[in-house]
A and B are shown apart, each in its own frame.
Chain A
Amino acid sequence: MAPQIHWMLVLFAAIFTNNILLAYFLGMCSFLAVSKTLKTAYGLGLAVTFVTTATAIINYGIYYFFLNASTSIFGVDLTFIQYIIFIAVIAAFVQLVEMVIDKYSPTLYMALGIFLPLITVNCAILGTSVFMVIRKYTFIQAAGYGLGSGLGWFLAIVLIAGIRQQLRFANIPEPLKGVGITMIVTGLMAMAFLGFAGVANLG
């Protein structure tokens, strides 16, 4: 896309106008499964934000140093294996983070611990890396995009968790309870976020 976009704008757009969950539908599985209470949603949101930002930066380096023909040190086009590499990096990074947190901060591990394995298969994270390559971001834009995607997902899951806590007392038809109503509320939320459209656009 346009390589001149300022990284702050990429960050802003990734949170509001091109929200990874509300506009690109990524990370729905854990979004639906872990949004029952505000506290767990908050913990998972933090973990996802951190991992998304870090893996976007690492995958950016790997893609342009080893895979992309014109900038790689091998000079060979290896982009066809990018997906395997990306998912392996994400899995390895999550494992590493888990071990580090476990060793140095048991309290944080207790808070985040159970969410970390879930993150590996959160498509918002792989999606961020894939979009970053498709849109040909520069390094600083990619970092901004990673952070923005993570924060956007964080915002969406915390908002829906707050709404779901209140929904528990609402009178909803039995078959619509749970996923059905969550999906419809998310649709209304996505509609609200459409109000940001036009402020910035990532294409």
Chain B
Amino acid sequence: MSGPAKRLIEKGTLSDNPIVYQILGICSALAVTNRLENAFLMGLALMFVLAGSSGLVSLLRKVIPKRTRMIMEVLIIATFVIIVDLILKAYAWDAAKVMGAYVALIITNCIVMGRAEAFAIVNPVRLSLLDAFGNGIGYTWVLLVVALVREVLGTGKIVFTTLAQTEIMVFPAPLRAAMDGQFPLLLILPPGAFLVLGLLIWVVKASQGPEKEI
């Protein structure tokens, strides 16, 4: 992979991470992270929409008139979201029911709009796809980390229902017995999402050194 391509990926995943630094796509990062499996599916869905719409916007960038570009972008994004929504409903019905509204809300997920408006509309297709991929990975890993912390500490296990039919008990049996099945439910409830993501942002920023303010 050439230099600029590598830099684009690196930027999206870490140094210009959409959630931690661009503060985009926070809604779904908080909402679907009470279970690892849902976070993973959401990450996949977003990556598909992001790559599809960035690619298409970039492909059409010379055709789209400047004045109507916002509406065109929204329509392109909405089209890809509908595709994902229908696929999820067909193959992962349980997960689709839980995430339902949040899949629809990928339309207003600022990452997709943000990348289309800031990058794809002025860059060639290949770079736009790489940029979309980098940002998609950046979004997905943050979701997975938050979901892992919340599900493991909040319930003591990881439950899979769509990708597989299994439950992983994370803590050893004696510890579970000692805790008597009592885990801090707060982490699964909405406040836990804010707290865990806030702390994660702190950790990432601290490890990356000082950075710009929003």
Contacts and interface: CB of A to CB of B under 8 A. Distances in A.
A29 B27 contact: yes
A107 B205 CA distance: 41
Interface residues of B, number: 45
Contacts of A25: 26-28, 30-31, 190, 193
Interface centre among A84, A130, A187, A188 (most CB of B within 10 A): A187
A33 B195 contact: no
Given A175-B210, A180-B199, 9 more contacts: A91-B70, A121-B110, A126-B104, A126-B108, A176-B198, A180-B198, A183-B194, A183-B201, A184-B198
Given A130-B104, A186-B194, A180 B205 contact: yes
Interface residues of A, number: 43
Contact of B210 (A131, A174, A176, A188): A174
Contacts of A2: none
A188 B193 CA distance: 11
A184 B199 contact: yes
Interface in B1-54: 23-28, 30-31
A6 interface: no
Contacts of A88: 71, 74-75
Interface in A92-135: 121-123, 126-127, 130-131, 134
A195 B81 CA distance: 36
A38 interface: no
A134 B213 CA distance: 38
B173 interface: no
A122 B108 contact: yes
A28 B27 contact: yes
Interface in B85-113: 85-86, 100-101, 104-105, 107-110, 113
Contacts of B192: 187
Nearest to B81: A83
A159 interface: no
B101 A32 contact: no
Nearest to B109: A123
A32 B23 contact: yes
A177 B206 CA distance: 11
Interface in A158-203: 173-184, 186-188, 190-191, 194
A74 interface: no
B186 interface: yes
Contacts of B107: 83, 87, 126
B27 A83 contact: no
Interface string A12-56: 000000000011111111001100000000000000000000000
Given A29-B110, A91-B71, A183-B201, A190 B27 contact: no
A191 B184 CA distance: 13
A179 B201 contact: yes
Contacts of B27: 25-29, 123
Nearest to B79: A84
B202 A173 contact: yes
B82 A84 contact: yes
Nearest to A81: B82
